Structure 1
Amino acid sequence: MSAAVSDPPAHRDGNVLRWLAAYTSSMVGDSVYYLALSWAAVRAGSPAQAGVVMAVSAVPRALLMLGGGVVADRLGPRRVVIGSDAVRCAAVLAVAALLFLTRPGLWPLVLSALVFGAVDAVFLPAVGALPARMTDRSQLARVQGMRGLGIRFASVVGGPLGGLGVALGGAAAAFALAGLLIAVSLPLLVSVRLRDLPSDGASTARSATAWQDLSAGLRYIRRHRVLAPLMLAIALGDLGFVGPLNVGLTLLADERGWGASGMGWVLAGFGTGAGAAALLLTVRGRLAHAGRVAAYAILAGSVAIGALAFVPGVVAAVGVALFIGLLAGLSGALCGALLQTQADPGRLGRVTAVSGLVSLGIAPLSMPLSAAAIGIWGTGPVFVVSAVVCGLGGVVVLCVRPLRQAELPR
């Protein structure tokens, strides 16, 4: 079914807004869940054990992500998103019930984290594949901006809501609140209408094995003139960005004596900048010369990352973080929009899975490496090296002509 000429823009489309409400509610539930998980783990075990509980979900997510992309393309993204949200809701509410009724220790928390990681491996590729089945290609950039606003809203609201739940009823109440928030997304997702795949969309063959589908998806990315270098640019950008803006910022704040409040203000500056970038794309819907703009934003953002280690005080650091957030949010949204519009909708689950594996499976490895390197060489050199790695992503975009000249559809 082709898009009608009179279709409203995404931010006025009730179908897209129902999806956005479902996605935002689910993301707020995730934020509350992780706060409840960390609180319960600290109360039930040692700090080291709590750290293991918080990290264990990354293992199944990284191992199963590529297979999750195949599942999303085979079964359809909406069905997979609804099923995975239902499983996550049931798992969280089960932990809440256990904590209400007994003191089971760490084992249900570990099991919950493993379930969440495994379900995320199919949820995240399906979420990435859903917009192309939900609205016209010309609206996909705007949808990326709307999704970014949902993520920012969840990051701002989720923490206080989780803290309120813990204050009123302990970890059990916070888990129950997280489960209810995820449950809200289910009827909204059921009401979302999907479009037929366009004729050039390549659905997975029912007679093929899952391994053949995965291999076909990886070959498709490798041979694509835009997607292959785009994946490399995303990988370099994330590798250079994740370390400094996570563990690196904590160590920098401690070194400069900014304290937890100062670090909080710096993070708030980053979040504000990223939110502004998402709002810009939501309002405009399209930016001309998307490939070039993404490259310049990555390069300018990398310079700001390097400069963050040398600013004289908290106020200047907040300003630089605001700049980083704006540029990183803009480049990330544009890269995501290019990924959405360049890939065949029938392969988007697998394409998103590869992108998600890079961002959520490989890039986090830079955090312990950054921490160890800062311990040896200090924050300045490590931030500069990270900035160079991030900037290489922009260089890749500029050097590959099809990616540099890539445009978003009108």
Structure 2
Amino acid sequence: MNGNVWRWLGAYAASLIGDAIYFLALGWAAARAAGPAEVGLVMAAGAVPRALLMLGGGVIADRFGPRLVVISSDAVRCVVVLVLAVVVALASPGLGALVTVALVFGAVDALFLPAVGALPPRVAGPGQLVRVQGLRSLVERVGHTAGPPVAGIAMGLGGPGAAFAVASALFGVSLVLLLAVRIAPLPEGGAVGLDPAGVDRAGLESAAPESPWRQLRSGLGYIRRHGVIGPLMLSGALSQLGTSAPLTVGLILLAGERGWGPSGVGWIIGAFGVGAACSALLLTVVPRVPRAGAVQNLTLLVGSAAIGALALAPSLRFAVGLAVAGGLVCGICGGLAVALIQASTDPAYLGRVSSVMAFTAVGLAPLAYPAFGLAVSLWGIVPVFLAGGVLSMAGAIAGTTAPLVRQAELTFA
């Protein structure tokens, strides 16, 4: 691993912890300013611009370069949260001010997420992508785990203002590290001809500057026509729609029905995280994954079955064991999927491809939450959990039926 990779990972870790602290501090500040309904409004406000603008963020990353976009958006987040820390320390901001901050932060996130996701192929060699994705997954687990305790300590010492200040400082650390990252230039004139996935890249990105709307359309067309990226994107979307609601809303409902309580939810989620962290470590040390595309499809099939089977667990202990196995398999599946997509992507499209991946994870998946809750009220928790697993398995079938995905390989350093 070169120094650029470690600096990028450090910046990403600092940003993730800062995100977690900001989010909890925002909720706490909203609770002090208004009632429960208003707290929900503030907490959800940032998700709207993030989902609406995410695909446009990918266009901007490709248009101006991911490094410039990620640095600029990180700087804005640092300043916005620092100003909020000062305001909270000196006064009690009203609901309108908190919603405004949440909207601004969500809009900036729509720029930051595609840009930061597009950086790995530009800072690491093709043979390092699997290890980088393994490390990225591990960093995400650490960031999500470390953020809430740090936020709690900061708020215990100085209230939400202190937590916002800590979050701003972490965004500042992320910014400094990103400024030190150097990325490889795009190939002169771009690639021409027929790529290994069967996409004619000549003329897909014309020499004349395109409008942002045309860039977005050309990016979506590139994904749709690509023999590896298109099926894997469809596979990932089906998997997210099938498993995100069971692993969030579903676990709460399941634990309530089985009498496992909040601690049971914590044990299952924690076990899934442990399994995913182990798979992330495995991907960083494994010398080679033969037939990476076929393995990705197989692990998605097994992981989907494990998540669906949580509703059939006869005891909490059994559910926790199933969650560990599911996290381990799903972690391998996710790491390979991202590495395969990024290794197959023409550098000129990295931002747009990254934005679609991010949109699938943070924009599309939450749409399944209300449908899942309604379905449980109509048919019960077990059949709906199983249906989610089957929908996710359909994603594995979508990948398996694509010949280029089945044959896809990854080179390792």
Alpha-carbon separation, structure 2, partners of 1:212 and 1:341:
24
The 5 A counterparts of 1:40-51 are: 40-51=29-40
The 5 A counterparts of 1:296-335 are: 296-335=298-337
Secondary structure, in 3 states, of the residue corresponding to 1:207? coil
Cα deviation digits, residues 306-354 of structure 1 (max 9, x gap): 2101212221111111111111111111111111100011111011111
The two structures have a TM-score, normalised by structure 1, of: 0.94
Determine the structure 1 residue equivalent to 2:218.
216
Determine the structure 2 residue equivalent to 1:4.
none
Cα deviation digits, residues 146-179 of structure 1 (max 9, x gap): 1111100101100100111111111111111111
Quote the offset at 1:96 in angstroms. Answer: 1.1
The 5 A counterparts of 1:193-212 are: 193-199=182-188, 200=190, 205=207, 207-212=209-214
Determine the structure 2 residue equivalent to 1:291.
293
Letter matched to residue 111 of structure 1: T
Alpha-carbon separation, structure 1, partners of 2:294 and 2:49:
36
Alpha-carbon separation, structure 2, partners of 1:204 and 1:371:
46
Letter matched to residue 60 of structure 1: P
Determine the structure 1 residue equivalent to 2:98.
109
Are residue 78 (structure 1) and residue 80 (structure 2) matched? no
Alpha-carbon separation, structure 2, partners of 1:164 and 1:109:
22
The 5 A counterparts of 1:344-383 are: 344-383=346-385
Quote the offset at 1:111 in angstroms. Answer: 1.2
Determine if contact 1:141/1:285 at 8 Å carries over to the other structure: no
The 5 A counterparts of 1:90-169 are: 90-169=79-158
Cα deviation digits, residues 186-216 of structure 1 (max 9, x gap): 1111111111223545877562211121121
Determine the structure 1 residue equivalent to 2:49.
60
Cα deviation digits, residues 129-155 of structure 1 (max 9, x gap): 111111211111111111111100101
Alpha-carbon separation, structure 2, partners of 1:335 and 1:370:
26
Which is further off, 281-290 or 76-85? 281-290
Cα deviation digits, residues 361-410 of structure 1 (max 9, x gap): 11111112112211222210110000000110111111111111111123
Determine the structure 2 residue equivalent to 1:405.
407
Determine the structure 1 residue equivalent to 2:260.
258
Quote the offset at 1:251 in angstroms. Answer: 1.0
Determine if contact 1:204/1:346 at 8 Å carries over to the other structure: no
Are residue 170 (structure 1) and residue 172 (structure 2) matched? no
Determine if contact 1:78/1:130 at 8 Å carries over to the other structure: yes
Alpha-carbon separation, structure 1, partners of 2:180 and 2:86:
29
Alpha-carbon separation, structure 1, partners of 2:34 and 2:287:
48
The two structures have a TM-score, normalised by structure 2, of: 0.94
Determine the structure 1 residue equivalent to 2:396.
394
2:179 paired residue among 152, 172, 190:
190
Do the aligned partners of residues 398 and 332 (structure 1) sit closer, same or farther apart at CA in structure 2, a change above 3 Å counting?
A: same
Letter matched to residue 135 of structure 2: M
Determine if contact 1:95/1:108 at 8 Å carries over to the other structure: no
Do the aligned partners of residues 264 and 78 (structure 1) sit closer, same or farther apart at CA in structure 2, a change above 3 Å counting?
A: same
Alpha-carbon separation, structure 2, partners of 1:165 and 1:205:
51
1:340 paired residue among 339, 342, 348:
342
Gaps of 5+ in 1: 1-9
Gaps of 5+ in 2: 192-200
Secondary structure, in 3 states, of the residue corresponding to 2:290? coil
Determine if contact 1:54/1:113 at 8 Å carries over to the other structure: yes
Which is further off, 36-45 or 335-344? 36-45
Determine if contact 1:204/1:347 at 8 Å carries over to the other structure: no
Secondary structure, in 3 states, of the residue corresponding to 2:187? coil
Aligned residues: 399
Secondary structure, in 3 states, of the residue corresponding to 1:192? coil
Q: Percent identity?
A: 52
Alpha-carbon separation, structure 1, partners of 2:206 and 2:365:
29
Report runs of 4+ in structure 1 exceeding 4 Å deviation. Answer: 199-206
